[in-house]
Amino acid sequence: MRTIHQFIDGAAYTEAGGRLQDVFNPSTGAVQAQVSLGGSALVDRAVASAVKAQPAWAAVNPQRRARVMFEFKRLIEANMKELAELLSSEHGKVVSDSMGDIQRGLDVVEFACGIPHLMKGEFTDGAGPGIDVYSLRQPIGVAAGITPFNFPAMIPLWMLAPAIACGNAFILKPSERDPSVPIRLAELLIEAGLPPGVLNVIQGDKVVVDAILDHPAIKAVSFVGSSDIANYVYGRGAANGKRMQCMGGAKNHGIVMPDADLDQTVADIMGAAYGSAGERCMALPVVVPVGESTAEALRAKLIPAIEALRVGVSTDNDAHYGPVVTGQHKARIEGYIQMAIDEGSELVVDGRGFKLQGHEEGYFLGPTLFDHVKPGMKSYEDEIFGPVLQMVRASSADEAIELASKHQYGNGVAIFTRNGDAAREFAAKVEVGMVGINVPIPVPVSYYSFGGWKRSGFGDLNQYGMDGIRFYTRTKTVTARWPKGGAVSDQSFVIPTMR
| Model confidence band, residue 117 (pLDDT cutoffs 50, 70, 90) | very high
Query: How far apart are alpha carbons 127 and 480 in whole angstroms?
Result: 10
Fold of the domain spanning 253-437: Aldehyde Dehydrogenase; Chain A, domain 2 (3.40.309)
Cβ neighbourhood burial of 368 (10 Å; 0-12, 13-18, 19+): buried
CB 12 within 8 A of CB 5: yes
- Give pLDDT, residue 499: 66
Write down the H helix ranges in 192-223: 206-214
Beta bridge partners of 171: 144, 200
154 in helix, strand or coil? helix
pLDDT given at position 277: 97
Give the separation between CA 62 and CA 66, rounded to whole angstroms.
6
pLDDT at 109: 98
**Residue 252: left (phi > 0), alpha (psi -120 to 50), or beta?**
beta
SS (H, E, C) 255-306: EECCCCCHHHHHHHHHHHHHHHHHCCCCCCCEEEEECHHHHHHHHHHHHHHH
What is the rounded CA–CA span in Å between residue 394 and residue 256?
Answer: 10
Q: Three-class SS of residue 165?
A: helix
pLDDT at 249 over 90: yes
pLDDT band per the 50, 70, 90 thresholds, residue 494? confident
Closest CA to 26 of 95, 80, 91: 91
Residue 495 has pLDDT above 80, yes or no: no
- pLDDT over 70 percentage in the chain: 99
Count CB atoms within 10 A of the CB of residue 305: 16
Write the pLDDT tens digit of every residue in 453-467: 999 999 999 999 999
For residues 436-443, give the mean pLDDT. 97
CATH code of the region 2-248+456-478: 3.40.605.10
Name the pLDDT band for 236 (thresholds 50, 70, 90).
very high
Kindly compute the dihedral angle of the four CA atoms of residues 367, 373, 375, 378, in this order, to the nearest 10 degrees.
-60
Give me the pLDDT at residue 487, please: 65
pLDDT band at 59 (very low <50, low <70, confident <90, very high): very high
Per-residue pLDDT, 193: 98
Instruction: Report the predicted TM-score, pTM, of the whole model to 2 decimal places.
Output: 0.94
Band (14; pLDDT cuts 50, 70, 90): confident
Upper half-sphere CA count for residue 219 (Cβ side, 13 Å): 15
Every domain of the chain and the residues it spans: 2-248+456-478, 253-437
Active site residue 246: no
Q: Which listed residue (113, 166, 246, 281) is catalytic?
A: 281
CA 276 to chain centre: 14
Mean pLDDT (the chain) is 96
pLDDT digits (tens, 9 = 90+) for 414-434: 999 999 999 999 999 999 999
β-sheet with 368-371: strand ranges across: 346-349, 368-371, 388-391, 286-289, 253-256, 412-416, 434-437
Q: What is the pLDDT of residues 166-217, one digit of tens each?
A: 999 999 999 999 999 999 999 999 999 999 999 999 999 999 999 999 999 9
Is pLDDT at 492 greater than 90 in this prediction?
Answer: no
Residue 7 has pLDDT above 80, yes or no: yes
Gap between the Cα atoms of 169 and 49, Å rounded:
9
pLDDT at 378 over 90: yes
Task: Of 140, 139, 193, 141, give the one whose Cα is nearest residue 166.
Answer: 139
The average pLDDT across 280-304 equals: 98
Burial of 32 (0-12, 13-18, 19+ CB in 10 A): middle
* pLDDT tops 80 at residue 73: yes
pLDDT (0 to 100) of residue 165: 98
